[in-house]
Amino acid sequence: MPVKITKRIRDVIKRDKKRMATTTRGETLFVADRGEGDYVYDIANNKFLDFSSFISVYNLGVNANNEVRSAIISQTSKLTHGAFNDFYSEVPLEFAENLVTMFPKEFGRVFLSNSGTEANEAALKFSKMYNDRPYSFSFYGAFHGRTIGSLSITASKSRHREHLGSMLGPTVRAPYAYCYRCPFKLEYPSCGMACVDYIKKYPLTKEVNPKEVSALFVEPIQGEGGYIVPPKEFIKEMRNIADEHGMLLVSDEIQAGYMRAGKFLAMDNFDVKADIYTMAKGIGGGLPLGVTVTKTSLGDLPPGIFSGTMGGNLVVAAAANASLNYIKRHQSELKSGISRKGKYMMKRLEHMRDRYEIVGDVRGMGMMIGIEFVKDKKTKEPAVKERDMVIENAFYDNLLLLPCGVSVIRVIPPLTMSDEHIEEGMNILEAAIKKVNSMRK
């Protein structure tokens, strides 16, 4: 059924624009109502397949899944909040104990907060206290959150930082290994990893003494920056740089982790271990949760400096635990499903790249895939309007998509979506791309 935009939808949007201080929404007309199976419905009963997982949260399916929902309901009927940072409770503790079993054995300390940005704030504060160094290192295109500490290491859009420059902490940056648009105009692998060389020769020589850098923050796959998968060597080199200069390596797994890129930790795809991992989004099973996991040998987070009223909330912890248990019990089935569906989507998208001029690049890992739109394949001029039109056309054909980067669409259906629905979504996506491609002059 084609999507109908009713008066009720328009009214909600009008009221929202009048009342809500700000959001990051673009021109979407989707007004959420409910989820059933692989579908989400809006308040006018329009039915959609969600290829956004509501921004990488519903990894285990729309509206979580039955087990997670039951855990939420059962905990809600007992006690919703136990002030976990001030009194003991078993549910968040059980979750933390359960969570560390998914990490290499040297990772034994867990801090619970409410969001990705808080998880990164904790990693930032902790690393600075650990080695008492003033600087952080991060990448252009990185998104680590919008609170002041995390914003200091975020550099995906200058808009995020406007007017706030004086509040931000000292950070040095370098280009990420964005091979499709290599800032050095080279090609991998003949480039000899010029981007790594640059880091060593410029920011970490001319700008700061590397011994003054406390932690190197990296997304194993850059998310908001454009779903960029770096060469394996790049991430390995980040480990080497951190080791050489005594920096901590922080893996921001908030978007790429929690099975999205095929493994529980996205970093494992690169055979690298970080010193600190941050997670959020999917880990709360649809409820707000941020997690910072540190190596036991780094010592404890000092008391009083890391806390919060809602961190370790009982309902959130119950949902997170149920979600994690589901992953643990269905690990092999999930892994093979992600590999099969990821490969299928990549194959379809590669075919589209070969057929349609506006599809410049497709890249991804597991079920974390990006499509980069260009005006033409030679100049690679970003096709922002065309990307937006693809999203809009797909929307009217009942498929939800989200943008990222400059002209990229992220393809991130729930990991549990059925093969039939993945195919259906890809058909809608291809029809939208074909239509927009045919409108080129």
Ligand X SMILES: Cc1ncc(COP(=O)(O)O)c(C=O)c1O
Summarize as ranges the residues that interact with ligand X (CB under 6 A).
115-117, 120, 143-145, 219, 223-224, 252, 254-255, 280
Q: Angle at which helices 419-438 and 384-396 pack, to 10 degrees? A: 130
What are the structure tokens assigned to 87, written together? Answer: 């009194």
Nearest-approach distance from CB 263 to ligand X, in angstroms: 16
User: 283 near 60, Cβ under 8 Å?
Assistant: no
Longest CA pairwise span in the chain (Å)? 65
| Nearer of residues 151 and 433 to ligand X, judged by Cβ | 151
| Nearer of residues 194 and 402 to ligand X, judged by Cβ | 402
| Nearer of residues 49 and 279 to ligand X, judged by Cβ | 279
Nearest-approach distance from CB 292 to ligand X, in angstroms: 12
| Nearer of residues 255 and 292 to ligand X, judged by Cβ | 255
Nearest-approach distance from CB 219 to ligand X, in angstroms: 5
| Nearer of residues 280 and 417 to ligand X, judged by Cβ | 280
Nearest-approach distance from CB 120 to ligand X, in angstroms: 6
CA 407 to chain centroid: 17
| Nearer of residues 143 and 277 to ligand X, judged by Cβ | 143
Nearest-approach distance from CB 316 to ligand X, in angstroms: 13
Per-residue CA distances from 293 to 89, 263, 303 (Å): 19, 17, 16
| Nearer of residues 119 and 394 to ligand X, judged by Cβ | 119
Distance CA 142, CA 339 (A): 26
Which single residue brings its beta carbon nearest to ligand X? 116
Distance CA 28, CA 43 (A): 14
Count Cβ atoms within 10 A of the Cβ of residue 6 and give its class: 0-12 exposed, 13-18 middle, 19 or more buried: middle
Nearest-approach distance from CB 119 to ligand X, in angstroms: 7
| Nearer of residues 155 and 254 to ligand X, judged by Cβ | 254
Count Cβ atoms within 10 A of the Cβ of residue 390 and give its class: 0-12 exposed, 13-18 middle, 19 or more buried: buried
Nearest-approach distance from CB 164 to ligand X, in angstroms: 16
Nearest-approach distance from CB 139 to ligand X, in angstroms: 11
Per-residue burial over 140-165, b = 16 or more CB atoms within 10 Å of its CB, e = otherwise: ebbbbbebebbbbbbbbeeeeeeeee
Distance CA 93, CA 99 (A): 10
Distance CA 77, CA 81 (A): 11
